[in-house]
Each structure stands twice: as C-alpha cells, then as structure tokens.
Structure 1
Amino acid sequence: MDEDWRQRWQEGRIGFHREAVHPALERHWPCLGVGEGTKVLVPLCGKSLDMRWLAARGHPVLGIELAEPAIEQFMAEGEGEVSRYHQSRFTVSRQGKVELWCGDFFHFHVNEAADLGAFYDRAALIALPEAKRQRYAFHLAQLLPPGARGLLVSLTRAPGDTGGPPFDVTADEVIERFSPNFEVTHLEDGERQPDSGFQESVWQLVRRGPGRS
C-alpha cells in the first residue's frame, strides 16, 4: 500500500486533497480549548491547507507524510524560506511554523514527539486498511500526553461500497479503536455526498491520563 500511495502523488491522483480549509476544522477547533503555541501533530498530512490554517492561529504544526511529492508541493505552494535536516529515519522540511517529516508514521517515536500537545486527523485513519487502523489508534495514543486533544474526521461509504482508500470507518469502529486511550465525543455528521456516496463524521478525542476512565 505504501508504494501505491507514493504512486498516487507521482501521478497526481489526489482527489482526496481539498483546495480549501475543511469547514469542520474551522467550526470545531476553537471549541477544543487548545492553547496558542501548542504543537499540533497531523498524521498522513499530504499537503493539506488545514496545516496552514492551524499555523496561522499560532500553532506549530508537525505533519508526517510518506510521499515526498506531497511535501515538496506543500513547500512550493507556500511562502517563506524552506530549511531541511535529517532526524533519525526522517527528512524534515520546515517552512514558518510548519515542519513536515517525510517517512513512515509508525516509525515516529515518542522521544521525537515530546512537545506535542494536540492533533488533527482529517485523512489518516480513513487512508488505512482495517488491518492497520488498530495499530494507528494505539500508536497515536503513545505519541500524545494525557490531556492532549484533537479532532478526527471519519468517513463512511455508500451502503455496499467496499472500495478505498478512503476506507469505510463506522462510528462503532471509531469508538472501539480509540476509547481505550481517549475520551471520544461525537460532534457532527455531515451530509452524504450524492456524487461519491461519502459521509463524514467529526469527533473530539482527549487523551486519557492515569486514573481516567
């Protein structure tokens, strides 16, 4: 699957990329109470404009993306000097408040994530096949300290549609995957799109700490 993902970016097959900030981010992020200056983790970030929106509101952003073309396009479409360096298995590109780590999300470890305090997932969970989604939920929890909060956007496909990515992730699965380590709150369901049959749901997640259940 990793090679397929890189190929999609090489060939420009990126229909999942939004040319505008996600409206659910604009609606719900201000209500999370994430303080200015809190670093936000964005797994499988692509070249999402949502990262620039977060940075414009005072958040350092750390995105992780496997496909190098996505990172190069993000930097080319932005403003300001780009610096690059290597960190363990990753090549890191920084522009303003945004730093993008090129590599496998599952190789990003907690010692590299010590200053993270929030997260945003619009297209990470739904990009992964079922066999990897439990691993993703557990790994995300290991990277975030107690009290860290964020938004998750899940997606269901039309009944009978088993294609992907993006993959069908039900509300029951979101709760099952994340509730062991997060307080999970359902915020909204979007309208099912007539052309694709997709319906998005938005969730607030807060990392549990010791003694919280």
Structure 2
Amino acid sequence: MENPWRQRWQEGRIGFHLEETHPALVKHWPELGVADGTKVLVPLCGKSLDMRWLADRGHPVLGIELAPEAIEQFLAQRRSGVSRYTQAGFEVSRQGSIELWCGDFFHLHIQQAAEVGAFYDRASLIALPPATRERYAFHLAQLTPPGAKGLLVGLTHGDGEAGPPFSVPDDEIERLMTPNFHVELLARLEADARGRSESLWALERRGPRV
C-alpha cells in the first residue's frame, strides 16, 4: 500500500509546504535558549526552508524524510555541492551543515542521533494518523537527551479526521508529550480562511542533565 505522505510528494500535492521560513520559528526559536552550534533534529522535514534558517544561525541540521523527491527539491534550491553516502540503511545527502537522511524516521537509532541536542517539529506530529502519534512521541524522546529543547507546531482544523495534515488538539499534544517532556504552550495563531489554527509549543526533554 502506497504511503499517503509519499504519494502526496509524488503527485505534487504539498499545500502544507511554505515558500518561506515559518514566522513562528523566527519568533519563538530564540526564546528556547538553544546554545549556538547545537545540532537540531528535524523529523519528517520535507523540503522546509526552516532548515536553512536554522543552519544559517549556526545549527547543524539532521533532517529525516521518507520522500526522496522532497530531498532532491531541497538540495536544488542552492547550487552548493552535495556529498552522498549510505548510513545504517539511510541514503544521506549533505549540503553544508545540513544532513538529509532519506528513510523511515522510526528506523533512526539513538547512535545516529548521538550529536543531537535540540529538535524542531513543524509538520511531523500532525502528519501522522492517530495510531502512530504515540509511537512518534516515544521515539522522539528516545532520540533526544535530557535537557534537549525543541519547538513543536501543532494544528487544529474542522475537517474531522481528514489529513494529512491532521487536526491534533491541545490535550492530545499534552497527553503524548508530557510523559517525557516538559511542555509549555507558547502561542496560538489566528485561524486562517480554512479554519486551520496553529499552536506553538516549547518542549524540554525530562531527566537529569549530564
């Protein structure tokens, strides 16, 4: 059975993609206090320009994406050289300080994410159906060390169970994340013309800092 997310990329149905850096990232990322040089994990990254923004501010980026079409489109945005290799079953493309790993996020092991110290979820949790979200929240916690900080963009809409992107209410985000993260709602944006409203969350991995 074709993965619906992959199918969207193949068909060019990527209305969720922004042709600019997400304003919420620009506004709220500095509030997290992530140290300069900290490597940022970006699950289900697509071809998000947010990764460029993070890299331009001194953060090495580790993006994970299932659709090779998304990765190739991202790399084509700049004429910088690209190095390619295979690592632990992933096809890896590196451009500057951005590494894009093509494969299943759930197959990424803690050894491959050993240098990660922060994360950014712009459209990961909301891309997943309800049955997969708990697995995602647990796997994200496994990959991030205690004290790691992250920004999560949630979404609610009135289209029922339609998606991706799916509507994930605030109480579900709190239920999924609070077992392993300190969770704080930073802001809720006004609904757009389609009744879709984004929420911004600051997360910090629980546990003793090393």
Same fold (TM over 0.5): yes
The residue identity in structure 2 corresponding to 1:199 is S
Please give the residue correspondences for 1:182-197 in structure 2 after superposition, counting only pairs within 5 Å.
Answer: 182-194=181-193, 196-197=194-195
Structure 2: give runs of 5+ residues left out of the alignment.
none
Q: What residue identity is the alignment partner of 2:28?
A: H
- Tell me what 1:24 maps to: 24
Q: d(CA) in 2 for partners of 1:69 and 1:183?
A: 35
Residue aligning to 2:179: 180
Which position in structure 2 is the counterpart of 1:98?
Answer: 98
Q: For residues 2 and 101 of structure 1, do their structure 2 counterparts lie closer, same or farther at Cα, with a shift above 3 Å needed?
A: farther
User: Residues of 2 paired with 1:172 and 1:71: CA distance?
Assistant: 33
| 1:168 equivalent in alignment to 2:155 | no
Amino acid at match of 2:144: L
Gaps of 5+ in 1: none
Provide the aligned C-alpha RMSD in A. Answer: 1.3
Measure how far apart 1:11 and its partner are: 1.4
Report if aligned partners of 2:147, 2:208 keep a CA contact under 8 Å in 1.
no
**2:169 partner letter:** T
TM-superposition CA deviations, 1:45-87 (whole Å, max 9, x none): 0000000000000000000000000000000112310000000
Distance 1:2 1:13 in 2: 15
Q: Counterpart in 1 of 2:65?
A: 65
| Distance in 2 between residues matched to 1:2 and 1:117, nearest whole Å | 33
Q: Name the aligned partner's letter for residue 26 of structure 1.
A: V
Distance (whole Å) between structure 1 residues aligned to residue 73 and residue 4 of structure 2: 18
Which residue is 1:199 aligned to? 197
Cα deviation code 1:7-61 (max 9, x no counterpart): 2111111101000100000001111111111000000000000000000000000
Question: Counterpart in 2 of 1:139?
Answer: 139
Q: Does the C-alpha gap of structure 1 residues 93 and 2 become closer, same or farther in structure 2, counting only changes over 3 Å?
A: farther
TM-score (norm 1): 0.95
The CA deviation at 1:5 is 1.7
Deviations 1:142-162 (A, max 9, x none): 00000000100000012x633
Counterpart secondary structure, 1:133: helix
Whichever residue aligns with residue 141 of structure 1, its letter is A
Distance 1:2 1:55, change over 3 A: farther
1:2 positional shift: 5.7
Q: Tell me the matched-pair count.
A: 209
- Report SS of the residue matched to 1:77: coil
Q: Against the structure 1 CA distance between its residues 199 and 185, is the aligned structure 2 distance closer, same or farther, given a 3 Å change threshold?
A: same
Structure 2 match to 1:112? 112
Kindly state the Cα deviation for residue 89 of structure 1 after the two structures are TM-superposed: 1.2
